[in-house]
Amino acid sequence: MEQLGLPGDTLVNYIFPNNAHVTWSIMIVIYPYITGLVAGAFVLSSMYHVFGVKEFKPIANFALVAAFSFGMFAAVPLLFHLGQPQRFYQIYMTPHTTSAMSIFGYVYSSYLVLLMIEIWVIYRKVFIEKANEATGRMRNFWWVLCLGITTYNPESAKFDKQFAKFLAGIGIPWACLLHGYVGFVFGSVKAVAWWATPLQPFIFLSSAIVSGVAMMFMMYSFIMWRRGRGYDYVMVKKFIITLWMAFILDYALEVLEITFVSYEQGAHWAVIKPLLLGPLYESYVLGQMGFLSLGPILVLGIASLLDIKDKALLYLGNLGSLMLVLQVLVMRFNVVVGGQLISKSERGFVDYEFEFFAKEGLLTATTIFIMPFVTYYIISRFIPIFEGKSIDTEPKRLH
């Protein structure tokens, strides 16, 4: 191609001086990833609390607490990315209806409050029991947690069940809005060819459900193994089938997106095709769309369709879940970082190198990602998550 009378390759690989570095790096990769785990875990919890799927009863409260644990740190990567993180509160003090990130602050905060209230309602009976049994400072702690109400009766349990179901019901569209909105933030950026697609919110949402369910499966398997308790293989089977079907839908959307862009042969494809066959060939073509997608479809398909039982079923489920957790993480990287590899001149690509000890390096990202698991462990020391003590147990009068 000749421009301005210059030789054909003169403008190839030309990058503007202010475009030499990737601005949104690993912090903005794990931000939508952790947010997706929140949405996926909550949807799994609601399978029992809202739709009454009995097979998921043993892990409904576990998934809810896990969703809250991940939600506590979903916005932390953004704080590390900000130049002035101490001013984060201004997103609430000075709302701007035309700013996607400003609106997201209210969506995220209100959803986190909803999770807190639902957990409190479900475990209010436990808090009252502990307030009546504890002594000293711990009694004061539990008394504050149950808001000074230390009596509980069957009428209280009935109200709590109805209220928890109501919260879970409105939480499902809120969870979809939460992560679909993250996809909207990227999809609305028309200047980046790799992001500008109306399918972006739906792909982010479907992949969020996949990653959340897969992470819950792996956490459940590890906790039961660590405690030396038996597995509910009926639930494990249902778990795997749900995960398999969710990923088929997610993968179909991802294939549909790239197929549509390539078939349209528009201006964006002229930039996206060299990107996929160049810098993103290994991570996108071979990784995301290849091994990490076809592998889980095969593994989970075998576990879902064949009569596989007990430990073999568990091993296949964990293998498929591990690949899907990595698949969604790679997908987030390919979208966030991959989209910025296209230079603003559209004449070449920006180089990206991983950093380890930097403020937004791999060490910081790994530390942030570990914190939700630490938070869950701390909460599980106070709340009997897998002991069946919640509003689902037979109510009795406490005083």
Could you give the residue ranges of the DSSP H alpha helices within the chain? 26-49, 57-71, 76-81, 90-93, 100-122, 124-133, 136-145, 154-187, 200-227, 233-264, 267-277, 292-305, 310-340, 362-382
| pLDDT value at 384 more than 60 | yes
DSSP states along 106-174: HHHHHHHHHHHHHHHHHTHHHHHHHHHH--HHHHHHHHHHTTT---B-HHHHHHHHHHHHHHHHHHHHH
What percentage of the chain has pLDDT greater than the value 90?
A: 39
Residue 323's pLDDT band, with cuts at 50, 70 and 90, is very high
Residue 396's pLDDT band, with cuts at 50, 70 and 90, is very low
| pLDDT value at 370 more than 90 | yes
- The answer to whether 395 touches 125, Cβ cutoff 8 Å, is yes
Q: SS3 for 94? A: coil
| pLDDT value at 5 more than 90 | no
Structure tokens at 210: 């996949």
- Residue 347 sits at φ, ψ, to 5 deg, of -130, 60
For residue 4, the model assigns a pLDDT of 44
What percentage of the chain has pLDDT greater than the value 70?
A: 90
More confident position, 223 or 179: 223
d(CA 19, CA 349): 10
d(CA 105, CA 220): 31
Please report, as a single letter, which amino acid is at residue 21. H
User: What CATH number belongs to 18-382?
Assistant: 1.20.1630.10
For residue 191, the model assigns a pLDDT of 67
Among 369, 318, 328, CA closest to 179? 328
Q: What is the mean pLDDT of the chain?
A: 85
For residue 190, the model assigns a pLDDT of 67
Please report, as a single letter, which amino acid is at residue 312. A
For residue 20, the model assigns a pLDDT of 63
Domains in the chain: boundaries: 18-382
Instruction: Note the pLDDT tens digit of each residue in 22-38.
Output: 788 899 999 999 999 99
Average pLDDT over residues 125-136: 86
Structure tokens at 82: 């900000």
For residue 15, the model assigns a pLDDT of 64
Q: Which residue has the tokens 């002035």?
A: 84
For residue 84, the model assigns a pLDDT of 80
DSSP states along 323-360: HHHHHHHHHHHHHHHHHHTB-TTSBSB------SSSTT
d(CA 219, CA 202): 26
Instruction: Note the pLDDT tens digit of each residue in 242-296.
Output: 999 999 999 999 999 899 888 888 777 888 888 898 889 999 999 999 999 999 9
Q: Which residue has the tokens 């959803």?
A: 111
For residue 2, the model assigns a pLDDT of 37
Q: Give the CA radius of gyration of the chain.
A: 23
Q: SS3 for 205? A: helix
Q: Long-range pairs for 285-294 at CB < 8 Å and ≥24 separation?
A: 287/327, 287/330, 288/254, 288/327, 288/330, 288/331, 288/334, 289/254, 289/255, 289/258, 291/323, 292/323, 292/324, 292/326, 292/327, 292/330, 293/247, 293/251, 293/254, 293/327
- Residue 151 sits at φ, ψ, to 5 deg, of -120, 145
Instruction: Note the pLDDT tens digit of each residue in 141-193.
Output: 888 888 888 888 888 888 888 888 899 899 888 888 887 878 887 877 766 77
Lowest mean pLDDT, pick from 51-55, 265-269, 336-340: 265-269
| pLDDT value at 395 more than 50 | no
What DSSP state is assigned to residue 308? -
For residue 14, the model assigns a pLDDT of 61
Structure tokens at 374: 């630490």
